[in-house]
Amino acid sequence: MKTIIALLIKQCKDSLRNLPSLMILIIYPAVAFVMIMAMKGEEGMDNVFVPMFAAMHCSFAPLVISSNILSEEKEKGTLRSLIMAGVSRVKVLISLSVFVLVSVLLTGSAFLLMKEFTVQTAASFAAAMLTGAAVSTLIGLCIGIYSKNVTAANGLAVPVGLVFALLPMLGQFNEGIAKIAKYTYSGQFREVFEGGEFTLNTTLVPAAYFVALSILLLVLFRRKGME
């Protein structure tokens, strides 16, 4: 436990000094806020922008940040220095995930101030945000383990993150894309972010992602061992 706390403290200090990753964490809430302010005259803009950017936030940010942190640890040799200090690889992954989830939830909570929520819908909102971020973090970890360095990891993480961030939004304008977007975990959560409740689908689709990605992570971890 003391090791995980040590790693979390390190990660907080490091990320606060890492401008690009800070930007990714606040960009979607910030843009949503600006859009709502800019269109103040029109009714219901918060109902459009909050779900849209919340879905992007919980899919893009955790995915890119987790793959970035992990691949940087590998590239800079810091991961190796941790392992040589007796830190297990699993603890590195756990502390990284905790950090990403907490920071995405904290910055994502800004959405709660931009639109009216009841206690009930706010709770659903937070649950969806957390689950979406968890699935994204799993994808990010897989990419981080698979990639040799930061450049390779970003080359994978950014397009994958964009697919999950943008498909749900594009699905609003195009029937064909909507059919595909239904099968993305981010697309499912969009409905919850719009104020809907969890349904069978909004539970099953992300759950399927979660299980499949956990298995993929395990396989990659076994094969690559984070070297």
Partner 1 sequence: MGDIPENSIISLYNVTRSFGDREVLKGISFEVSRGEIFGLLGPSGAGKTTLINILTGQLSCGGNAEIFGTGCGSIGSGLYRRIGAVLDNCGLYERLSCLDNLRLHARIHAVPFSRIEEALQKVGLAESGNKKVKALSKGMKQRLALARAILHEPKLIFMDEPTSGLDPSTALEIHDLMKELQSKGTTIFLTTHNMDEAYRMCDRIALLSEGEIVELGNPAEICRQHCSSSILNIVTTDGEQMEIDNSPAHAEAVAQLMREGRLKAIHSSEPDLGTVFLKLTGKELDK
Contact positions toward partner 1, by CB under 8 A?
2-3, 5-7, 9-10, 13-14, 17-18, 76-88
Q: Judged by CB, which is closer to partner 1: 25, or 54?
A: 25
132 close to 43: Cβ distance less than 8 angstroms? no
Q: Judged by CB, which is closer to partner 1: 11, or 202?
A: 11
- Encoded tokens for 66: 């987790």
CB-count burial class (<10 Å; 0-12, 13-18, 19+) for 129: buried
The nearest distance, CB 156 to partner 1, in angstroms, is 23
The nearest distance, CB 124 to partner 1, in angstroms, is 37
**In the 8-state DSSP scheme, what is residue 227?**
-
The nearest distance, CB 223 to partner 1, in angstroms, is 15
Q: Judged by CB, which is closer to partner 1: 87, or 216?
A: 87
- Encoded tokens for 201: 């689908």
86 close to 25: Cβ distance less than 8 angstroms? no
211 φ/ψ angles, rounded to the nearest 5 degrees: -65, -50
In angstroms, the CA 138 to CA 194 distance is: 25
The nearest distance, CB 79 to partner 1, in angstroms, is 8
Q: Judged by CB, which is closer to partner 1: 72, or 191?
A: 72
The nearest distance, CB 14 to partner 1, in angstroms, is 5
**Measured CA distances, 54 to 129, 166, 176 (Å):** 8, 11, 23
Q: Judged by CB, which is closer to partner 1: 85, or 119?
A: 85
